[in-house]
Amino acid sequence: MRKKTFFFSVFIFCCFGLIPATASWALSTSPSPFLALPTEQKYDAKIARLGQKLFQDVRLSKDNQLSCNSCHINQLNGIDSRPKSIGPDNQIGHFNTPSLYNATLLSKLFWEGKESNIHQAIHTHIQDSTIMAGKWPDILAALSHDITLSTEFKNSFTSGITDHNIVTALVHYLNAFNYTPSRFDAYLKGNVTAISPEEKIGLKQFMSLGCHFCHQGKLIGGNLIMPLGVIYPYPDNPNNKKFRVPSLRNVTKTAPYFHDGSISTLEEAIKIMAKYQTGNDLKDNEIHSIVLFLKTLESTLIKVPNHEP
Ligand code: HEC
Ligand code: HEC
């Protein structure tokens, strides 16, 4: 174990009660910091299709300006590729748009981790003045005038169009919006050749630096809130503010990075993390090795079926 990583693991252990790891902590030893992605899909296909329609519906926003898909763009892996989102009336938002793939599996939502319930998160998000600035009475009035949509709601929910049912349909859609398992999941389940020897070196590197203290669990992140600037103060975060540790699944496809989208490449993000979060200066070949490991977390999108299964 690197010397700095040792002090860092003691720090993490004392502050957060996590189990310290060593470089020799192989994945086969228990407990592993990582879990394979669940494969079962928990959604009702009819309600998910209704959610899919709502995801594209600008009537959820102020003056019909934006749909969910204006920022979480399906064709762009669920992001908008901008540093920060652009909301109603072209206002620049406070945060980078995260991808929604696997979002229903997150235990902490939003960059500051301020929500833990996805239903509540979306309910608030729609009304957020920097996101959609939607007003529920206006949304319900507009959607209720749509005869086709009203009938579809009645077919799925006895109470018809309500704010609760709109959010429920969106959550069913997002549940269908999870990624299929990656090569790393196959490796976690015991297929030792699912990742290459070079990628295994990257995994070792990731663990010997202690990245897995924070990026762990089934999403390799997404379940802890941690300071940015643990070992050295991070210049852009002088007050050592905490952020939700992001999931690293499909991270190779979701540049730019960090809560403010200030980091444009994955290599730069890794370099900053190693320095400020673990106290290590990485060489280019070490960074490249971690990129290779992160590529094993790539997977493809599950699509909502067009008809009943
Ligand atoms: C104007 C752009 C924009 C629109 C429109 C938008 N979002 Fe978001 N979304 C964001 C941003 C930015 C964040 C991060 C906000 C934060 O961290 O406070 C986010 C975060 C989320 C999250 C939490 C994800 C995570 O990783 O924590 C969910 C879930 C979500 N949005 C769903 C939706 C849904 C559903 C809609 C449509 C009803 C929608 N969003 C519309 C920009 C947008
Ligand atoms: C002490 C906890 C902690 C450790 C250790 C840590 N990270 Fe992070 N990581 C975070 C937090 C918090 C963020 C979010 C930063 C922000 O939003 O500005 C983050 C962000 C990232 C991102 C950007 C993801 C995105 O979607 O924007 C990458 C890539 C990353 N970390 C990789 C690593 C690697 C590689 C290591 C090991 C060298 C590591 N992290 C160690 C907490 C940690």
Identify the CA nearest to 142 among candidates 59, 205, 226, 67. 59
Round to whole Å and give the CA distance between 210 and 223.
16
Atom of ligand 2 nearest to the CA of 226: 12
Ligand 2 centre to CA of 242 (Å) is 12
Question: What's residue 74's pLDDT?
Answer: 87
Q: What angle is formed at CA 32 by the lines to CA 30 and CA 34, rounded to 5 degrees?
A: 160
Long-range contacts, 83-91 (Cβ 8 Å, 24+): 83/256, 83/260, 83/261, 83/262, 84/260, 84/261, 85/130, 85/131, 87/128, 87/129, 87/130, 87/131, 87/132, 87/133, 88/61, 88/62, 88/63, 88/129, 88/132, 88/133, 89/62, 89/65, 91/129, 91/130
Averaged over successive runs of 10 residues, the pLDDT of the chain (309 residues) comes to 52 45 43 87 90 97 97 92 97 97 95 97 98 98 97 97 98 87 95 96 97 97 96 91 97 97 98 98 98 95 60
Residue nearest to atom 34 of ligand 1 (CA): 68
Pocket, ligand 1, Cβ cutoff 6 A: 60, 66, 68, 70-72, 85, 87, 93, 95, 97-98, 100, 103, 106, 109-111, 118, 121-122, 125-126, 131-132, 170
